[in-house]
Amino acid sequence: MTRRHVSFDLWLPDLPGHWRAWLPNRGNALFTLLLIVGLLWAQSAGALPLGRPQAAPAAASTGAIAYQGRLADANGNPLTGTYNMIFRLYAAPTGGAPLWEEQWTGSNGVKVSDGLFNVMLGSLTPIQQSVIAGHDQLWLGITVGTDDEMAPRVQLGSVPFAVQALTVPDGSVTTAKIADGAVTQAKLASDVNLFKVQSGKAGGDWQNSPGWNLHQGFAARSYTVRVTFQQPFQSPPTVLVTLHMIDVGNAANTRVHVSAENITTQGFDLVIHTWGDTALYGAYVNWLAYVAQ
* pLDDT for res 174: 81
Where are the domains positioned within the chain?
61-164, 195-292
Give the CA angle between residues 59, 63, 67 to the nearest 5°: 85
Nearest to 277 by CA among 254, 260, 258: 254
> What is the torsional sign of CA 139, 142, 143, 147?
negative
Pick the CATH number of 195-292 from 1.10.3720.10, 2.60.40.2080, 3.30.300.20, 1.10.357.10: 2.60.40.2080
List, in sequence order, every beta strand (DSSP E) within the chain: 65-70, 81-83, 85-90, 100-104, 110-112, 116-121, 139-144, 154-155, 195-205, 221-228, 238-248, 257-261, 267-274, 280-292
pLDDT in tens, the chain (293 residues): 555 554 445 454 554 555 454 455 555 566 666 667 666 666 665 555 554 445 555 544 456 888 999 999 989 999 999 999 999 999 999 999 999 999 999 999 999 999 999 999 999 999 887 787 777 789 999 999 999 999 999 988 765 555 555 566 667 778 877 887 777 777 777 777 778 899 999 999 999 999 999 988 888 999 999 999 999 999 999 999 999 999 998 888 899 999 999 999 999 999 999 999 999 999 999 999 999 87
Chain-centroid distance of CA 90 in Å reads: 23
Decide: pTM greater than 0.85.
Answer: no
* pLDDT for res 52: 47
Nearest to 240 by CA among 272, 284, 285: 285
Strand bridging mode 238-248 / 221-228: unpaired
Chain-centroid distance of CA 282 in Å reads: 54
Distance CA 283, CA 102 (A): 70
Whether 61-164 shares its CATH topology with 195-292 is answered yes
* pLDDT for res 42: 61
* pLDDT for res 8: 46
Pick the CATH number of 61-164 from 3.30.70, 3.40.1710, 2.60.40, 1.10.3470: 2.60.40
